[in-house]
C-alpha cells in the first residue's frame, strides 16, 4: 500500500513520467491564444521539499528526478525531458534541487492570465498545504477540499470549452481504479474535446493489471483517440510490494506527443532504470 502523503514519493520515477507528459499536454494547449482550464482531481500538496523527513525517509527521488537532474546540462537531452527540467528549475534556485513541483505548481507556472486552474484535494493535511501554497494567488486558481471525482462533474465542460483533466488518485483504495474508468464514461460525453490524462501505478495488484485494458475499452466505447505510455524501472519484487513502474493514459492526445515520448522514454530507461527489467511501452490509437 502507498502512503497517501505524496511527500514520501515526490520526484520518484512515476512523477518523472507523469509530469513529463503533463508539461507536453500543457505546452500543446498553450499554442492557441484561447484560454483553457486545467482540472486536477487529486492535486496533493502542490510542491514538495526534497530535503524534508518525508522525502529523506523514502529516498525515492534519488532513483527518479535526482538522476535526471544530474543530466540537465547534457547536450543531447530529449525534448520532453528538457522541457520538464525547465519547469523544475523554475521551482528551485540555481543548481540546487531542493523542491519538486507537483502538478498544480507546474500548471500554475505555465498558465497565462485568462487560463484557470481548478484543484481538488480531500486529504486533510494535503489540502491545508495546497491552500497555504496558493494563499497569495487571488485570481486564476481555485482550491477546493472535495472529492475530485465528484467535483469533476461540476467543472465540465469548462466555460472556454478547452481544457485538460488530470486524474492522479493514490489508488490506495481499490475503488479508485473503478472510479477512474467511470469518471471518463461520465465526463467525456459532456466534454468530448477535452484532454484527459490518467496516471496509474504498476504494482502487484489485479486492479492495476486490468486497468489499461479497461481504459482502452472505455475509449473505444466513447470513440476517442488515446495514447498509452508506461515506464518500468525494475522488475516486480518477489514479495509483491512496492512500485516498479507506472503508466499514463491520455485521451485526445496531441499528435506530437507520441514522437516526443518515443524519444524520451528510451533515454529514461537508460538513465533511471535500476535492473535488466527496466523497459517502456508506447502505443497510440486513432479513430
Catalytic positions, written as ranges: 168
Q: How far is residue 233's CA from residue 56's CA, in Å, rounded to a whole number?
A: 20
Could you tell me which of 165, 170, 171, 283 has the C-alpha nearest to residue 230? Answer: 283
Angstrom CA distances, 49 to 60, 91, 94, 130, stand at: 13, 11, 16, 13
Spell out the long-range contacts of 216-223 with Cβ–Cβ below 8 A and sequence spacing 24 or more. Answer: 216/285, 218/181, 218/184, 218/185, 219/184, 219/251, 219/285, 221/185, 222/184, 222/185, 222/188, 222/189, 222/192, 222/251, 223/287
| Residue pointed to by grid coordinates 527489467 | 277
Using CA atoms, how far apart are residues 155 and 144, in angstroms rounded to an integer?
12
Amino acid at each position: 500500500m502507498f502512503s497517501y502523503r505524496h511527500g514520501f514519493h515526490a520526484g520518484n520515477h512515476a512523477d518523472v513520467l507523469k509530469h513529463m507528459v503533463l508539461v507536453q499536454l500543457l505546452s500543446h494547449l498553450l499554442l492557441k491564444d484561447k484560454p483553457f482550464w486545467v482540472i486536477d482531481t487529486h492535486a496533493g500538496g502542490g510542491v514538495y521539499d526534497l530535503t524534508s523527513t518525508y522525502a529523506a525517509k523514502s529516498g525515492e527521488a534519488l532513483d527518479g528526478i535526482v538522476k535526471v537532474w544530474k543530466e540537465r546540462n547534457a547536450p543531447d537531452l530529449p525534448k520532453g525531458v528538457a522541457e520538464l527540467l525547465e519547469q523544475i528549475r523554475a521551482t528551485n534556485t540555481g543548481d540546487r534541487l531542493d523542491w519538486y513541483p507537483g502538478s498544480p505548481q507546474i500548471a500554475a507556472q505555465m498558465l497565462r492570465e485568462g487560463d484557470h486552474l481548478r484543484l481538488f484535494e480531500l486529504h486533510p493535511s494535503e489540502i491545508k498545504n495546497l491552500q497555504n501554497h496558493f494563499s497569495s494567488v487571488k485570481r486564476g486558481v481555485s482550491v477546493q477540499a472535495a472529492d475530485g471525482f465528484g467535483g469533476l462533474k461540476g467543472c465540465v465542460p469548462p466555460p472556454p470549452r478547452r481544457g485538460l483533466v488530470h486524474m492522479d488518485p493514490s489508488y490506495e483504495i481499490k475503488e479508485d481504479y473503478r472510479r477512474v474508468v467511470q469518471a471518463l464514461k461520465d465526463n467525456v460525453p459532456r466534454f468530448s474535446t477535452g484532454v484527459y490524462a490518467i496516471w496509474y501505478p504498476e504494482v502487484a495488484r489485479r486492479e492495476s493489471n486490468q486497468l489499461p485494458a479497461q481504459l482502452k475499452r472505455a475509449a473505444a466505447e466513447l470513440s476517442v483517440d488515446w495514447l498509452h505510455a508506461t515506464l518500468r524501472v525494475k522488475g516486480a519484487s518477489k514479495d509483491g510490494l512496492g512500485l516498479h513502474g507506472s503508466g499514463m493514459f491520455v485521451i485526445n492526445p496531441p499528435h506530437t506527443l507520441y514522437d516526443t515520448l518515443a524519444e524520451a522514454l528510451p533515454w529514461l530507461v537508460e538513465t533511471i532504470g535500476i535492473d535488466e527489467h527496466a523497459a517502456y511501452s508506447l502505443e497510440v490509437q486513432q479513430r
